[in-house]
Amino acid sequence: MEWLPPNWCPRVVVIDIDGTITDGNKHISTDAVNAIRKLEDAGIPVVLATGNVRPITYGLWRFLGLSAPMCCENGGVLWHPSWKAPLLRGSADVAKEAAVWLASQVEGVDPKGIATNQWRESEWCLFPNDPLDEISDAIAGSKWSHLSVVRTGFAIHLMEPHLSKGEGLRVLFDSMGWSVDEALCVGDAPNDLPMFELLHWAVAVGGAFDVVSQAANVVSPHPHGATFPPLVDAILARVAEDKR
Ligand SMILES: [Mg+2]
C-alpha cells in the first residue's frame, strides 16, 4: 500500500499515545516502540501529542528516547525538559475553582475529579458519569461561562475553549521553526482531528473512530501500534531515496 503521497517525505512525525501506540487495554506496542526509535535514529524528531498530563508524557518521552518538545493536555501544555518552564495555554486553577463551585450547585459532582487532576496544569477533569447537562447549564450561567464542558470516554473536561492538539502544535511548530507542510501525524480519536487538519499528512491507525478514519489521508490496515513498523519502513525508504 502507499503510506505516503508521491515525492514527499516527512521531516517531523507527530503521534498520539492512547489508542495509537497502545491497544484497547492501554498496553504499549513494542513494535511501535522499536519503529519510533528508528525514526529518531534517522534524524526525524517524534512529537508526542496527547491528552495525557506532562509527567506521564515525560516518562514515555524519556523511555522512548525522543528529542522533540511534547504537546500535553490536548495542547494546553507544551514542554521540553531543556525549557525553563512549560508553556501553559490554560489554567487548571481557574477550572478547579469552577469545579469547587459546581459541587455546591449540582448534586453528584465530586470537585476532586479524576486521579490525574493532581498533575493537571491547564484544565480540570470531572468523572465521566457526573451529570453533564446540569454541569453545562450551571457553567453557562456562571462567571466561568468562558470554559468549555467536553465529555470524552475518560472524563468531563472543564477547559479553555481554544485548547486543541492543533492549536498547541501550531505554537510548538512555530517555536521550533518547523513547517506544518513537512509533518506527518498518526492518531485514533476525535481529539486528533485538529492535528489532522493542521499537519500535511494524517494516518489513522486500524481501530480508529470512524470519523477519524474518514478524515485521514491514509487508514492503516493494521491495528493501533502495529501500524508503525510498515509506516516507518515506508518513511525510511523515502529518506533513502532522497539521499540518492
Ligand atoms: Mg488516542
pLDDT tens, the chain, 244 aa long: 899 999 999 999 999 999 999 988 889 999 999 999 999 999 999 999 999 999 999 999 999 999 999 999 999 999 999 999 999 999 999 999 999 999 999 999 999 999 999 999 999 999 999 999 999 999 999 999 999 998 877 789 999 999 999 999 999 999 999 999 999 999 999 999 999 999 999 999 999 999 999 999 999 999 999 999 999 999 999 999 988 7
Distance 205 CA to ligand 1 centre (A): 10
- The pTM of this model reads 0.92
Annotated catalytic residues are: 16
Both 167 and 238 in a single domain? yes
Helix (H, G, I), strand (E, B) or coil at 32: helix
Question: From ligand 1's centre to the CA of 17, what distance in Å?
Answer: 6
- Domain limits at 175? 12-81+163-243
Q: 69 and 18 in one domain? A: yes
Of 159, 187, 216, the residue that ends a domain is: 159
Rounded distance from Cα 191 to ligand 1 centre (Å) = 7
How many domains does the chain contain in total?
2
Running DSSP on this structure, what letter comes out for residue 27? Answer: P
- Asked whether residue 226 falls in the same domain as residue 213, the answer is yes
CA separation, residue 109 to residues 31, 96, 139, 150, 151 (Å): 41, 12, 13, 15, 14
Is 30 among the domain residues? yes
Q: Which of 116, 143, 159 is the last residue of a domain?
A: 159
CA 50–ligand 1 middle distance (angstroms): 7
